[in-house]
Amino acid sequence: MIETRGLQKLKQVLINDKHFNPTRFNELLTSDIFRVLQNYMEISKDELLSRIDIDAEGNYVFKCKVKCRRLKIVGLLNN
């Protein structure tokens, strides 16, 4: 299997920093995004899909897909 430059870079970063947990980081980021999106739309956690990838240049790419039941009227946001 031929590895891309980005995948090689990610492996090296993870080897160098054993405290980095990409799964936990994705969970935290998804949780934060979910809380923000709840201000603007009616969603549940199972309707939000996200993941972090590494592109060919070694940059992190956060992908997020959400399915909402309805959008909220911005002037009537709940605190």
Residue 31 has a pLDDT of: 92
Rounded (10°) CA dihedral 64, 67, 69, 71: 40
- The pLDDT tens digits of the residues spanning 5-64 come to 888 777 777 665 655 677 888 888 999 999 999 999 999 999 999 998 878 887 888 899
pLDDT for res 2: 61
User: In sequence order, what are the residues at sequence separation of 6 or more whose Cβ sits closer than 8 angstroms to the Cβ of residue 63?
Assistant: 50, 51, 52, 53
Q: Which residue, chain included where needed, has tokens 């947990």? A: 21
Phi and psi (nearest 5°) for 37? -65, -30
pTM as predicted: 0.62
> Domain residue spans in the chain?
5-74
Asked whether the CA dihedral 12, 16, 18, 22 is positive or negative, the reply is: negative
pLDDT bucket at 4, cuts 50 / 70 / 90: confident
